[in-house]
Every structure is written in C-alpha cells, then in structure tokens.
Amino acid sequence: MKMVKRDKKLKFIDFCSGIGAGRLGLENNGLTCIGFSEIDKQAENTYRKFFGDEETNYGDLMKIDTKKLPDFDMMIAGFPCQSFSVIGQRKGMQDKRGQIIYGLIKIMLDKNLKYFILENVKGLTNHDGGNTLKIILKELDDAGYKVFHRVLNSIDYGVPQMRERIYFIGVRKDLVPENFVFLFPERLPRVDVKNYLIDNKELEFNEKKESYETFLRYLKNKYNHGRYDLDGFLRKNYLVLDTRQSDLRLYENKVPTLRVGRHGILYVRNGKFRKLSGYESLLLQGFPKDLAKKVDGVIEEIHLLKQAGNAMTVNTIEAITRELFNTLEKYEK
C-alpha cells in the first residue's frame, strides 16, 4: 500500500483543553492550533492569558455541531478522568463524564481525522477488571484507527514530577500499511528538581503562618508521631514533603503527582520550608518560564495549583508527538 504523504502544516483542535499543556506539546512539533474546547471558565481564562483571544472556544464537546468545525487533521484531548481515577468513585462508563470518549469518537468520524492523542489517568487500565479499557480500544478500532496505548511517567520525559498517565495514539488505518507499529518514546535522563523549585515569592512556611501550627500537629498525629525530626528536614535542601491524608511522604529530587486537591506539598530551600507555588507547578508540568510568568501573580495561586494538577505534561506530549511523526516519516520512505 502506498503511504499518503504527510502535510507539514498539520492543524489540530485542543479538546478538553484545560490550560493548554497538550497544545504546547503539539506546537513544539510545528503543528498549528485552530481552536479549543473547554467548559471550565477559570481554565479558559488562564488558557487565553497564555495563548491570546484569537481561537474559538467551542465549549462543551458533547454539544458541538461538527458541521461548524473547521477542517483539521489531529485531535489532542485529556478527556475527563474523574470516573476512572483511583481517587474518584470509579463509575467509569456508567458516569456521564465517562461517555465523553464517544463524543470524541463522533468528532473523529465526522471530520475524518488523521491522527489523535488522548490522555487519561492510570486507573483506567484496570477499571472494571480492564473491561473499560477494552471497550475504549474496540470503539477506536471500529472507528477506523490503528491504536497504540501505554502508561508513561512524566519523570521519564524531562520534568521531576512522578505522574503516571495512559496515552492513546491513533492513526487512521487508510493512511498506513497493516504492519505499521508505533513505538513510544524512550526514557530520558532524570532532571534536577532544584531547577524547578525556584519561586522567590514570599511563600516561606514558618511559625508566623497560622497553618504552620496545623502542620506541627500533623507531625504529631498517631501516624507520624516520633517518626520525623523537624530540624533534620531543614538540613536537607530540596527535600519535598507531601502532607496528603494522615501520613507524611518524603521525596528527594522529585515531586509527587500534582493533583487538583493536593495543595499540601512543601519543600526545603536554604534551611526553610516553602510551599509549592502555582508558578512552580506549571514548571513541573513542562510549561516554559516565560509562559508561566504571564499568569504568575495574575491568576490566583489556588486556581493555578488546581489547573496544573488537571493539566497534561507538556514534555510527555511533545515526546509522543515527535515520535509519532518520526515513525510516520520512516514508513513513508
């Protein structure tokens, strides 16, 4: 079968866009964004601070009239994960939000898309004993796509954040031969967390803060009492402390998964505790410093932390996209 030559100026729409991390991953590979779809107004506000007001927000993808969408080649979507996550109720395909995959497939079919990249939480892999994943893969196959999926960890692709997510890469079957195989990008060397924990705002965490007393009581609860030395913490530069739930978790040269509800990440710098900031959270998701600075101090910290927790990792999407088109070009030769 003769390969179809790839257009060097591929266009995409950013669905379930959040604040545009997936968009950046594609743009860093030379693709052009012509619109996005996002229902969260706070996320849209940050998105527009990053990228401007030119593109149309098509809103709820389940309500989009696909006839009104411009022609485009590729879809990127971090479709809602609450119904599959281990921290959610895991209703899966019974949850209305879990049905968004069908809305995405409808758009793929109506626009005859060439390619897609979808992202979701690792919990999707074993939801309902793996049946949910099987259903999604079958639906995508029936829609006419060769589909490849794998769980990747962001810490292996150029940021010091442990973030496991499942990625689906799809190529329309008529564009590639039957023996087409996509191999996910190889892991990269680990990076130094100190290059990401660099905020200089007054976010020191000490006895002057009311929440510091809460932290001290947390260290004395039945799970943590007698296990930790506060002064010992302060002697370890860039030690990261995750105060989630009842038990304290410690990390060196890495940061735990950023999540919407997780605002309790502390770290040590120059002998002092500091709170992880929204700006630093964006850096940990692969946003470049100049872009992160656009919203630092403009968007409230609580919103930036939430939005970073919801985002994809730019570096991982960039690596996948680069590998996809490098692979396609190999098959074209």
- Pairwise CA distance, residues 193 & 279, whole Å: 14
Beta strands in the chain (DSSP E): 11-15, 32-37, 74-77, 115-121, 145-153, 164-172, 239-242, 249-252, 265-269, 272-275
Q: What is the dihedral of CA 167, 171, 172, 175, to 10 degrees?
A: 180
Q: Going by C-beta distance under 8 Å and a sequence separation of 6 or more, which residues neighbour residue 243?
A: 215, 218, 264, 265, 266
Contact 98, 58 (CB under 8 A): no
Catalytic residue among 81, 113, 155, 291: 81
Q: Catalytic annotation on 81?
A: yes
Contact 189, 224 (CB under 8 A): no
- Pairwise CA distance, residues 58 & 69, whole Å: 8
- Pairwise CA distance, residues 320 & 22, whole Å: 11
Cα–Cα nearest to 37, from 65, 2, 1, 7:
65
Which residues are marked as active site? 81
